[in-house]
Each structure stands twice: as structure tokens, then as C-alpha cells.
Amino acid sequence: MNTKMKPQLSFWQIWNMSFGFLGIQFGFALQNANVSRIFETLGARIEDIPILWIAAPVTGLIIQPIIGHMSDKTWCRLGRRRPYFLIGAILASIALFIMPNSPVLWVAAGMLWIMDASINISMEPFRAFVGDMLPSRQRTMGFSMQSFFIGTGAIIASALPWMMTNWFGISNVAQEGAIPPSVKFSFYIGGIIFFLAVLWTVVRTKEYSPEEMEAFSKAEEGLKNIPQYDESPTKSSKQINRGLLWFLINAGLFLVFYFFIYMDYGLGVFFGGGAIFGILQILSGLLTSGGKTTNGLVVIINDLYKMPKTMKQLAIVQFFSWFALFSMWIYTTAGVTGTKYDMKIDRTTFDRLEAAAAHASSLPEAASWDNLTGIQEDLGLMKKKFKKQEQVMITMRVVKFFAEKEKMEKLGLEPGTLERLEHIQKEYNTGADWVGVLMAVYNGFAAIMAFLLMWMAGITSRKRVHAISLVIGGVSLASFYFIANPTMLIIPELGIGLAWASILAMPYAILTGSLPAHKMGTYMGIFNFFIVIPQITAAAILGFCVRELFHNQAIFALVLGGISMIIAAVLVLFVDDVDEGR
């Protein structure tokens, strides 16, 4: 067999193979910029939003290693990775049409789960695709090209609701419990673009055959400064013992927190996930003892145990990087609208609302009103704040509950109160639309910086570039607390965009050089664990932090995210980039 090196691809070949990420990011950007808004519109409390978001990372945790393992072993008329691009695109596009039409909160949460699963089916093989198609010296360019399309797609998708309203006159306000038309049309457009962009990559790119991939792998084996991959399965007893330890520790912590400290859904998922991972290791051990070492679960668990050193180091960096991003995506809308816009009420208005809520409890028709108990809980938290403040931020759940003329008349509220609530609702929607623009700014700047980072990495090192980018991003995210004018938030968004461009390219460029070619898909799926785990962690603790430590001031979650990103910057300096300079 001719063991020639993998050939370099032209700029336009790399462009075509990465173009599908334009569509994928349309899905993610619409999700990130608008799903919290949809949840709040349908009656979710600010502190409950992280647990609703947890569907997305849990889905990725399950889907990506499975799809990675399957795509490693797939070969058909469409190739190795492209069948998964296409299937995921079809499903995600359908989900994008359904999501903004969710009638109630639980439907929206379920659609988020389905939509994220579909996006993950397309996205995971795209990461492995770069490792398959490009030689080592072009992989930084490959992932930078993906960053460019991610930024380009996101800048348009994030700003779509704002453009619908300000350019086309489509309303950004709807009746209580309904999603604004501007958001709905944005999701419809996103669904169409998602499918067409991925279809372009499927049609315009040809994959190497399994025989060619094997030849390329043999040619590169002698050049990589990494140990030979060990294919032998881990001892069954070791897997079972590890599994028991994971299960007992997490089950024990769950019981301790439940009975003696504090427990909510986020922590329940966190400890439950650890216990389930323990059970999966036990099952893998039992299958191994039975000689079923080629079983998909056994293979994935063993690959997890045998992660390359570089991957283990990057895992810690990814944890702190993505914890920061998840904090930003969840709480930017609440943090910006709550501190930069007119979302507060005085004591007189509050007293009227409190009295109206008490009166509502005695009305027969109140039994059909959604969230009355939650409204009273929110008013109770607001009342405590009036001891220290003359004005207090009102939650959108309270605003939407009372901002109906018929309901206000039944509750005896004055027209001036309705006018104030309608004003706050408009302020919130204006702020939420501006957050979409801010998301577009950081994604757009990431698209611009993607190729500059590639050049900088070539003259310095990928680690230094990534560390500098994360420091700038962390400082920028924390600065949201200090900036009063929402227009000026564009400046820190540029720093966040730099960090985002680096997060999307540098860790993957470093990682692929340390991976065995025949395990590229599986390890890219496993690497997603270290994006998902910080997201689950954030969902487990951020709601508690915002409610109990930050007194419902979501802006402090952004400060916490900034600190986390700076920690990641320090840790990346200790990563062993075995492929540097090749």
C-alpha cells in the first residue's frame, strides 16, 4: 500500500467542507439568544432558567460520543461523516420551525431537547471532518474556517429578531404567554438556512475512502510524538470498581445535600449524572467480563479511560471556558435588561400589585390563571428588597401576569399601573433585542478574528494565543457589571468575540494532533463531555447563586463567568501541544 502523506487542500476546498457550520451556528445562535426569552415569556422564573437549559448539554453528552463512534465505523455512498450532517440538518430545521410555536413552558423545554439533539448529530462529525480531511499543518486553518462560519452565521442569526422589528416592521411584542412574531420569523428563516448550508457541504465535498485514510494514518504515525494507542480493553474488575465508586460517591452526596444542605433540580441532575456514569462503567465491566469487548458502550468507556495526555489537560481548560460561556448565554438577557433598562417599580406600584395578587386568590376565575402561586413568590422576594431600596426590579413573570386590561379591571388596578407595566414590557423587549445585537457583535468579531488568530498562532504558539484571548474575554465579560450605557457594551463584546474565536479553534487544533486517526470521531464526541460537564455544573449552581447569593441580580453571574474564563487562560499554558510546529 502506498503510504503517501495526506495532501493539502485549497482554500476553497476548506471553505466548502466548513460551509455547513454556517447553518449549524444559525441554529445555535437563535437558541442561545432567544431561548431564555422564550422561557421567560412562557412564565419561567429567572432562577429556574438554568435547569430548563440543561436539556441541551445533557443531550450533547449522550448524542456526541454515540454519533462519533458510529461515524468512525460508517462508510456508504455519502461517505463517512456526511450522512450525519444531512440527517441532523433535516431534524434540526424541523425543530426550528416548531420551537417558537410552543404553547406552554414544558413544550418549549422539550423542543429545546429535540432541537439540540438534532444540531449535535450534525455538529459532532464536522469536528472530526477536519481531522479526516486535512494534514496536520492545515488543521489550525480548518478550525479557524469553522470559527469564521460560526461567527458569520451567528452575527446574522442573533440579530434577526432586531432586524425583523427595525427593518421590516414585524412586532416584537405579543399577548401574555405568546412568542413575539419577530422571534417566530427569525426561527423560520434559521431553519431554512440551516438545511441549505449543510446541504452545500454534503454536495460539494468528497471524503477519503477507508483505504486512503488507513494509508494516511500509517504515513503520519512516525511523525507524531505520542505513544502508540493501546487497543486492549481495561480489566473488567477495574471498570466495575470505578463504577461502584462513582455511584456511591454521587448517591451519597445526593442524600447529604437532600436531607441536610440544599437540593434543587440542577443539583439533582448533577449528582444523578455522576451516579449514572458509575452504572455505565459497571455495565461496561460486566460486558467486558463476558467477552463483549467490541460493544459500543465498552469501546467508548475504554476510550475515555485511555484519553491522550493532551486531551486530559485540555479538558480542564474547556471546563472553565465553557462554564463562562454558559453563564453568559443564560444571564446576559436578564443581566442587561435588569441593570441597563427601566425595569424597576416604586413602593406604591408594588403595594398595588401585592394587594391585587392577594385579591386574585379569592376570585373563582383565578383558578384558571397560570402562575398565581409563582407571582406571589416573586412579590415576596421583591418585598424583602424594599427594606434596602426605594425601587426594585420587577420580574417579567409578574409584568406579563398583570399586563392585561381585563385582568387588571377585575383586580381593581388603576390605568396608570397598566401603563407602567406596558412600559416595562417594552423596555424588556427592547433590551432583549439589543442583547441579540450584542450577540451578533461578538460573533461577527469572532469571524473577523478567526484568520488573524490563525496567523498569530503560526508566528507564536497556539497556547499563547489562546491564553491571551481568554484573558481578554474574561475581563470583557466581567466588565458588564461596570458599564451603565447599554450601547457601550459593544466594546466588551469585541473582547468576548476574540475569546470565542479562539475557543472554537485552538483547543481542537491542539487536540487533533494527539488523537489516533481511527478514533477521531469517538474522541471528538468524548471531548464534548468537557463542554457539557461545565454546562451541567452551571445549571446546577447558577440558579442557586443568583437567587441566594446575588439576590436575583443576574449581572453577577456574568462577573463569575469572567473570572472562570481567566482561570482557563492560566491553565492552557500547561497543556502539552504535541503537534505544535508541524
* pLDDT band at 468; cut points 50, 70, 90: very high
**Dist. CA 111–CA 103, nearest whole Å:** 11
- Strand 344-346 to 391-393 pairing: antiparallel
Cα dist. 81→13, 157, 208, 482, 484 in Å?
Answer: 16, 25, 11, 46, 47
Note the pLDDT of residue 253: 93
Q: What are the boundaries of each domain within the chain? A: 11-219+306-340+423-572, 236-289, 344-393
Note the pLDDT of residue 1: 41
CATH of 11-219+306-340+423-572 among 1.20.1250.20, 3.40.50.1820, 3.30.465.10, 1.20.1530.20 = 1.20.1250.20
Scan for cell 413602593, then name that residue. Answer: 347
- 78 is written with which cell numbers? 455519502
**Dist. CA 186–CA 157, nearest whole Å:** 7
Q: Summarize pLDDT for 326-370 with one digit per residue, the tens.
A: 899 888 988 898 888 888 888 988 888 888 888 887 777 766 666
**Dist. CA 563–CA 321, nearest whole Å:** 10
Q: Summarize pLDDT for 261-290 with one digit per residue, the tens.
A: 877 777 787 888 899 999 999 999 999 998
Q: Summarize pLDDT for 533-566 with one digit per residue, the tens.
A: 887 788 778 877 887 788 778 889 999 999 999 9
Note the pLDDT of residue 176: 63
**Dist. CA 1–CA 72, nearest whole Å:** 21
Q: Summarize pLDDT for 184-232 with one digit per residue, the tens.
A: 888 999 999 999 999 999 999 888 888 887 777 776 665 555 556 667 7
Note the pLDDT of residue 493: 93
**Dist. CA 205–CA 86, nearest whole Å:** 13
What are the residues whose beta carbons fall under 8 Å from the beta carbon of 183, sequence distance 6 or more? 34, 37, 38, 100, 161, 164, 172
Query: Whole-number mean pLDDT of the chain?
Result: 84
* pLDDT band at 442; cut points 50, 70, 90: confident
Mean pLDDT along residues 164-177: 77
Out of 134-143, 176-185, 347-356, 439-448, which region has the weakest mean confidence (pLDDT)? Answer: 176-185
Note the pLDDT of residue 498: 94
* pLDDT band at 2; cut points 50, 70, 90: very low
Is 109's pLDDT higher than 90?
no
Q: Summarize pLDDT for 364-401 with one digit per residue, the tens.
A: 776 666 667 778 888 888 888 887 888 888 888 888 88
Note the pLDDT of residue 284: 93
Out of 381-385, 403-407, 459-463, 556-560, which region has the weakest mean confidence (pLDDT)? Answer: 403-407
**Dist. CA 92–CA 84, nearest whole Å:** 12
Structure-model confidence comparison of residues 111 and 314, the more confident one:
314
* pLDDT band at 461; cut points 50, 70, 90: confident
Is 469's pLDDT higher than 50?
yes
User: What is the DSSP secondary structure assignment for residue 546, as one 8-state letter?
Assistant: I
* pLDDT band at 38; cut points 50, 70, 90: confident
Adjacent-strand bridge partners of 393? 344
What are the residues whose beta carbons fall under 8 Å from the beta carbon of 21, sequence distance 6 or more? 123, 126, 146, 149, 150, 153, 197
* pLDDT band at 56; cut points 50, 70, 90: low
Q: Give percent of the chain with pLDDT exceeding 90.
A: 25
Burial 30-59 (b: 16+ CB within 10 A, else e): bbbbbbbbbbbbbbbbbbbbbbbbbbbbbb
Structure-model confidence comparison of residues 324 and 296, the more confident one:
324
**Dist. CA 436–CA 414, nearest whole Å:** 34
Is 59's pLDDT higher than 60?
yes
